[in-house]
Structure 1
Amino acid sequence: MPTANEASRSGVFLVVGLGNPGIEYQFTPHNAGFLAVDRIAERYSATVANRRCRALTAKIQIAGREVILAKPETFMNLSGLSVAALAEEFGVDPLRDMLVLYDELAFPMGTFRVKERGSAAGHNGAKSINGSIRSEDWARIRIGVGSDGSPASAFRRGKDYLLAPLRKADLAALDEVLDRVAQAVEVTVGQGIATAMNEFNRRDNGPAE
């Protein structure tokens, strides 16, 4: 994958948030990616509502560049089908001009990490994307939804938790971090993934993985 200096500054950039469609999943930990895309859209007075390639989409401009925001409607474990179709539809190289936002149970709530590439680490949405585009070399932001190690947060584990509505305190913590995630997306689009990693992968944003 190219460095920040090599990254393309023209053409369409694709920002995909992962989650599950349906009102019952809207404010669950597994929908952190959807919530992040909605937060970005809100900052640009856009609504993610156009249906294309089995996803809800919106078109915005970041740093003078056309950006497609997308939320696949395929359910999490088939996200890659929509991502691959979107990349083809908009002529996007997913290894160069795509950023995927999704939840990470291994990171504490209120943290996030920007990564240039990596394995799926058990995340079904990431696995689906790897399979559909036949590569792990795509940029991502993993949004922490897990335990911070305290007894009060010990319940944050497993599938049941990921698909259950967020508690009020956790929803507030996630809401706060979404603004920083949106800023990291803006830096990635405008200045490249390496710059975003340097700026946002500090100790206060999460583990140094």
Structure 2
Amino acid sequence: MTPDAPWLIAGLGNPGPWFRLTRHNAGFLAVGRLAERHGARFRRRGIGSVVAEIEVDGKRVLLAKPQWFINLSGRPVAGLMRRYGIPVEQLVVVQDDLDFAFGSCKLKRGGGPGGHNGVRSVGDVLGTRDFVRLRFGIGRPPKGQSVGDFVLKKFSDDELAALPAVLDRCADATETLVQRGLNRAQDALNVASRPNGR
């Protein structure tokens, strides 16, 4: 960790209003919820990103939405890290994830991209995958629907109704990560995912 450097929470997604509530934009939605919680606004900054700045437990945190398409997310993320001197240990990439049911949120450091081209782009440009990923579960497509079509479809009505609570869980986990570290944040997410929080 570099105490004087800010954290960077980079949500992955596609720019433009058409994509706003699509499953592939779960990362944008999660960092947007964090910004709302702290009364912060996104402004264009750096290489191809809009950025909001918040403070969590006295620590400076940058929230970013790269404005290149999701498969090219690596260069905007790397540009922000260079500009602000952010080490990879203080980078969190928020992504949609087909491997978990909708409503699940998981934190993990490192590992392969699991077919997510945005995560692959970040790892390829940085030359390392040793960053934390907040994986926002979107579930698998129904039989007969391609993955590509599924991730670019908007959330269903039932999912939209549940979305605020899921985004709050992601925001809670991210704040705990910055405050208390990865293990504590993972524990908190596991408790929050159990029925009645037990």
User: What corresponds to 2:168 in structure 1?
Assistant: 179
In the TM superposition, 1:28-177 aligns within 5 A as 28-94=22-88, 96-147=89-140, 154=142, 158-177=147-166
Check the 8 A contact 1:114/1:201 in 2, yes or no.
no
Compute the TM-score of the two structures, normalised by the length of structure 2: 0.91
Q: Work out the CA distance in 2 between the residues paired with 1:32 and 1:172.
A: 15
Q: Work out the CA distance in 1 between the residues paired with 2:6 and 2:90.
A: 7
Sequence identity of aligned pairs in percent? 38
Aligned CA distance change for structure 1 residues 91 and 74 (closer, same or farther; 3 Å) = same
Shift of 1:91: 0.4
Check the 8 A contact 2:5/2:84 in 1, yes or no.
no
User: Which contiguous aligned blocks of 4+ residues in structure 1 show a shift greater than 4 angstroms?
Assistant: none
Check the 8 A contact 1:32/1:143 in 2, yes or no.
yes
Q: The residue matched to 2:73 in structure 1 has which SS?
A: helix
Aligned CA distance change for structure 1 residues 115 and 189 (closer, same or farther; 3 Å) = same
Structure 2 residues without counterparts, runs of 5 or longer: none
- CA offsets, 1:126-182, max 9 Å, x none? 0001101011111010000114xxxxx736761101111222111222322000100
Structure 1 residues without counterparts, runs of 5 or longer: 1-6, 148-152
Compute the TM-score of the two structures, normalised by the length of structure 1: 0.87
- CA offsets, 1:29-66, max 9 Å, x none? 00000000000000000112233221000111111011
CA RMSD of superposed structures (Å):
1.7
